[in-house]
Structure 1
């Protein structure tokens, strides 16, 4: 038994690899040959890829200069420096572009920008800008080869990794082949050795076809005779071989550990590498890991405390919790961003990633990974966030509605004013169609597409927009925007309804001033003949009156009685005609009086009054007005009073303000029958309030309202919607004059058809 054991050890496969071996030489030769072939192939591929990448950079340079010169033709021809700056800025944002310069034909710089001092900015393109066959400028684009070089570096890394992978595969394959073509012949040889050791020399060694082992087999018959003599020598040799085997096993174990570490590192990252034995807490930090925080390899020991002690206190608990969750299987991967203290005392951001190795029971016993320095990325992210925050604050502080859309008219930007105007939050508006979040502005969709397609600004002033049943006016500007080659648009909406109303008031005031001068002259010219007409009509009535004896005497002298004359005049309607002349003259005199009042500033004495009391007095006067009481049933109109008790006294002419309010109440009452059949009862709401340093009076009704054309003309002299003979058209004109001219106030109207009318009076407060 001992002889059999010694024989097996003496002829183990390990002895074949001692000294020079065909299998080893074959393996080495094969690896060298394949290494040369793979290296040659990868080098050729590297040269080819580098040329293609360079051609691609040059192609982009040609493409950029062509597009830039084509796009610049119209703006340079039109001397549109703003568009030239926008176009130059857009092209400068392209990743490869380092410099953009735009000149006019005389060499004057219209736009120039250089991103940075880049020694790799060596792809230069220049082209004339043409417009209808004429050179109108020059464009220059310089592209950087920095990205090209980085791509080449990544290509080299990829090739090296591929080469390493090929060598690994060859090594594994060679080991498998050696097992197949070397181990099996050895087993046959060992079987023969065992038989020889037992004294059986009839074994046929010719079955071994391997040249090397066959030679050994042929000499075994000779060696058998010397077995006994060399037994002691073989025991010593066997002992040496056992030591070599143990050493080989330790080397193989170390190799497996190294391969396992390499596999883990490749899986995690190729930056700063760390390896952690979870059972012993032994840790390994690569030189690159230490270099990330500013240290040489020898300056930091491979100690777990070096990692935890340098971590930012605010990040420590979070990182340790992430590590524990990963080891416990709560999370599928370990990946966390945190800060490590640098040698200079500052903190550097790193991205820590890793994986663990678990035993058969699923318990982790080893973990390895890598650190990636992301400090610059974090600084860039913070700067980007601060810039975006600043831009958002600027946009949100603007009173305009600012909305940006992509080429498909979907919302990409939505400022605070847009939220307040629509009630839609920015998070709810993003990615929704423009016409869905702003349905009242559907007419802008075609303009937005036109602006994006043509690259031109589109402006619209005082554009009417209907919201529900109300019309508001907006100044609208659409700006085309190009970001990284993607076209979009920014829409700015400014509500100018108040300005539009003020402009209307200014136009109306100018009309009133013009008509005022004309009215003064007309009133004086009409007064003289009108006085003659009224006096003549009055004298005729006196001449035919039965109350004067002179009339009877004159009739008797004419041969008739005064009663007969009176009867004749009444039968023929002459008396009625005289009454009509008198009534018409009286109405004309009233019109002249209003025109005179309209044409001059009132000299009425002003006093401080309580507006609430003044409104109550006016409402009482309206309730006792005969026409309102009989014709329009004023007492059956619901009068609602909303007075601000804290409103200060107002310095005004009470009689004139009463006249204005009474006119508004009469107009409201007279319009009520035009409401038609409605369920809500007729109502007039009179309110007083404080409005930015002025006293405000609102007279609102739920009558028929008025259309936009009527609203614009309502303060014009002699404009009326009433039937002939029921109004002069001067009531609101005079009221407007009283408020704006006599009291330095404002008088406006807001109305919608079917929803009533609201007149607003603004008066300066006492002492303002």
Structure 2
């Protein structure tokens, strides 16, 4: 090795190729020393020990650097890679000495080196006379072209009187994924809190609506009941006038009869009962919606409560009416003998709401007319479980999609019309939170039936026993 080579080549320590002083040259030099044999022997022993320690130190340094999770590159002033540690090769997916002598720009997405120059300016502020070391994040790429988020610091290093730089970097893909997951969790939490607030608000609104609805209903009922008595009295008065018309002043009865025709009294007597009854039916429907909304939005506790599944389904059908009334009719086949079961009421509400809304959307997607669309909601009592079936005559589920129905974020809806979370959350609520089962039966062009099996006893985390398993068949 010439003197010039020694001053320009960085030592290969990181990759384990450090140039330890040549043992043979030193031994040859020692043999030529004109000294007693014992002095020469001690000198040779010192040289050998020095060589061993240097080799041991180099090996220890290599072991330490290879155990560091960060990738380390030694870059010369021209931007060429002079050395690297094991982690650098693994992160960049390099084999052997593939990195040596290549430009450090290969690890940056921007091949024009503008990223590297900005990085140097940010991490090393030499113009102020103060070296500043600062981590920064940027997108990098491996030798196979795969990109990844990288955290990197650059610091100056001086090897053999030659200005070099240490690039210390790490792959932060896992951290970025965790940050995305955390952000999603926070968004879900905010959405849950918003829904909870809306639930409380809905309960308050329901109470406020319920009070005037009550006296409107009572007044309409009073008018409807009173109309019969008034109608009978009016009929009796007409009969009396007719019988005694000869004793009345001239033209009195004729004038009265003309006034009756002009006011269309016959039509009023016929239509007023219908109008009041329709108003009663309407206000009763409002009262039912208000009650259903109040029960649906009632905040549930952390513990399960004994629940009437039939009542839950009836409330959900009322609440979701606007989703299905334009596409289908709903038939309720609710077994009155089913037992009350332990549930998280709000979560079960969400399950049935998702399934009914999906059924309505499937019918709409099938292009059926409102009078042709039909949804059936049925409950059946089994030995130790309740089976809930929600059927539609919609499009059915394609074969290639059946295995993915309960997967998170899977949806066949257009962008902006579905998140793919509904059935995934439904599956989690039924199986994990309630220890039940959910499955479906489908036929293309004819429709789909979703079945939910809920245990009559709280056995969260356990599968339904053999009797419940038979319910599927």
TM-score range, shorter chain: 0.3 to 0.5
Q: Report the TM-score, using the length of structure 1 for normalisation.
A: 0.21
Structure that is richer in helix per residue? 1
Which one scores higher on RCO, CA 8 angstroms, separation ≥ 6? 2
Larger radius of gyration: 1
Q: Report the TM-score, using the length of structure 2 for normalisation.
A: 0.34
